[in-house]
């Protein structure tokens, strides 16, 4: 049986701001082709608005069009394909934005976040099982963002794009674990491997960065320095356990952090998606320290490192994709930490939004006035909430910082 689903479709990149006026995201009724043998049909209950969606909308991350957006979310399984044996109808799942096949050389090496089958599927905008399951009103295919496309009432995804989770937590909160939590906490605990007593500096305090900060706290870091352009985000960071904060516009930022940490931090983590943040992170890392970056500043962007400084300083510079997570191990682990109060992820959710408010939601993310807004495709009443974004994280981002 084919299903109809309301979904958020992007048909053009780089439309002008504000999106409240240009309205690049169109809400369309699409047809959903039923799951193949290795696929799953999911009712999406909550889906986070992440900067990576914004970077597709504004054109800084290239993507094939048209595409259904969304890559961070959670929902309930409605149907499983004939070859799926370990997920069943009624299960709660969180999507993982980098799916894995379990068979390729990177999956076999214990690095499912680098799955080759996923990268191939990501490139053509389909599922790892090969197909594109959305059709528009003209019966033309509409791609799936990273095989998830969860800005939709219903989605078909490959088995390897979901993790079964406990049904003890609301799906609007579970939504954040598939991207912000895995990326931010994972960058700190998996990629950089922060140890008790060490010093950490986090650059960028959006949904991903504040998860990184929580990860540093849970790891027992003694000094946790939080850096952002927005003072309101610095305040939030203090509430969540930062020991020191700095505004990234401070001309003496690097010297001040080095002075504070006796020459530099053990771990400098770039979670802003901005080259100046990457440069500052590299500069504040101590000799022998680690520089980890999960920010995505845009296709084709690069930064340079002084060769001699890298050698003499023996700095370790490392990329981090999906927090170097093994999702079936890490999502349940991070959910347990959330339930124990050690990872207060719900503190990042500053509102539920409906399909009709998605364009405005991305304006707020661009302006820095929202942290993690959660789309409720079936409406706020479906999750017992009200669609309202808290205002009050002021100040616009300066393009040249």
Ligand X SMILES: NC(=O)c1ccc[n+]([C@@H]2O[C@H](COP(=O)([O-])OP(=O)(O)OC[C@H]3O[C@@H](n4cnc5c(N)ncnc54)[C@H](O)[C@@H]3O)[C@@H](O)[C@H]2O)c1
Helix (H) or strand (E) holding 365: helix 358-367
Q: Per CB under 6 A, does 125 bind ligand X?
A: no
Q: For ligand X, which stretch binds (CB under 6 A), given 191-199, 318-326, 332-340, 342-350? A: 318-326
Question: Mask 47-76, x = binds ligand X (CB under 6 A)?
Answer: ---xxx--x---------------------
Q: Per CB under 6 A, does 230 bind ligand X?
A: yes
Quote the Cα angle for 261-267-273, to 5°.
115
**Which one, 134 or 321, has the nearer CB to ligand X?**
321
DSSP letters for 179-206: THHHHHHHIIIIIS---TT-EEEEE--S
Picked from Zn ion, ligand X, none, the partner binding residue 333 (CB below 5 to 8 A depending on kind) is: none
d(CA 248, CA 127): 39
**Which one, 45 or 208, has the nearer CB to ligand X?**
208
Closest C-alpha among 128, 73, 142 to residue 100: 128
**Which one, 68 or 274, has the nearer CB to ligand X?**
274
Closest C-alpha among 39, 52, 36, 44 to residue 295: 52
Closest C-alpha among 90, 243, 230 to residue 167: 90
Q: Per CB under 6 A, does 232 bind ligand X?
A: no
What would you report as the CA-atom Rg of the chain, rounded to the nearest whole angstrom? 20
**Which one, 179 or 224, has the nearer CB to Zn ion?**
179
Closest C-alpha among 232, 338, 217 to residue 269: 217
Residue 55, Cα to own-chain centre: how many angstroms? 12
Q: Per CB under 5 A, does 345 bind Zn ion?
A: no
Picked from Zn ion, ligand X, none, the partner binding residue 101 (CB below 5 to 8 A depending on kind) is: Zn ion
The residues binding ligand X (CB under 6 A) are: 50-52, 55, 179, 183, 203-209, 227-230, 233, 248, 271-274, 276-277, 294-296, 320-322, 365, 368, 397, 401
The residues binding Zn ion (CB under 5 A) are: 50, 52, 72, 100-101, 104, 107, 115, 117, 179
């Amino acid at each position: 049986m084919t299903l109809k689903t309301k979904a958020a479709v992007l048909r053009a990149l780089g439309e002008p701001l504000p999106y409240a006026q240009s309205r690049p995201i169109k809400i369309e009724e699409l047809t959903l082709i039923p799951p193949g043998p290795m696929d799953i049909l999911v009712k999406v209950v909550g889906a986070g608005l992440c900067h990576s969606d914004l970077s597709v909308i504004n054109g800084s991350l290239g993507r094939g069009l048209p595409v259904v957006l969304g890559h961070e979310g959670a929902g309930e399984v409605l149907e499983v394909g004939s070859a799926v044996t370990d997920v069943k109808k009624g299960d709660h799942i969180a999507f993982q934005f980098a799916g894995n096949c379990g068979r390729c050389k990177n999956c076999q090496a214990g690095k499912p976040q680098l799955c080759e089958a996923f990268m191939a599927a990501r490139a053509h905008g389909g599922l790892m099982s090969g197909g594109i399951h959305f059709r528009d009103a003209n019966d033309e295919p509409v791609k799936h963002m990273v095989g998830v496309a969860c800005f939709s009432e219903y989605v078909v995804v490959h088995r390897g794009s979901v993790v079964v989770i406990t049904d003890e937590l609301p799906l609007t909160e579970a939504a954040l674990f598939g991207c912000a939590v895995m990326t931010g906490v994972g960058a700190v605990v998996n990629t950089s491997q922060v140890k008790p007593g060490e010093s950490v500096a986090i650059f960028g305090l959006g949904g991903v960065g504040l998860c990184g900060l929580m990860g540093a706290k849970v790891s027992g870091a003694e000094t946790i320095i939080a850096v952002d352009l927005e003072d309101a985000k610095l305040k939030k960071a203090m509430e969540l356990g930062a020991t020191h904060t700095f505004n990234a516009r401070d001309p003496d930022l690097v010297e001040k952090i080095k002075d504070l940490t006796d020459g530099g931090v053990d771990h400098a983590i770039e979670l802003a998606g901005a080259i100046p943040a990457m440069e500052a992170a590299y500069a504040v890392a101590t000799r022998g320290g680690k520089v980890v970056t999960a920010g995505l500043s845009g296709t084709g962007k690069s930064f340079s490192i002084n060769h001699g400084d890298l050698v003499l300083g023996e700095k370790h510079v490392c990329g981090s994709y999906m927090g170097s997570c093994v999702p079936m191990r890490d999502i349940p682990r991070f959910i347990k930490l959330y339930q124990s109060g050690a990872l207060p992820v719900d503190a990042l959710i500053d509102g539920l939004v409906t399909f009709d408010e998605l364009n405005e939601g991305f304006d707020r993310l661009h302006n820095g006035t929202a942290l993690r807004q959660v789309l409720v495709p079936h409406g706020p009443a479906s999750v017992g909430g009200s669609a309202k974004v808290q205002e009050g994280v002021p100040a616009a981002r300066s393009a040249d910082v």
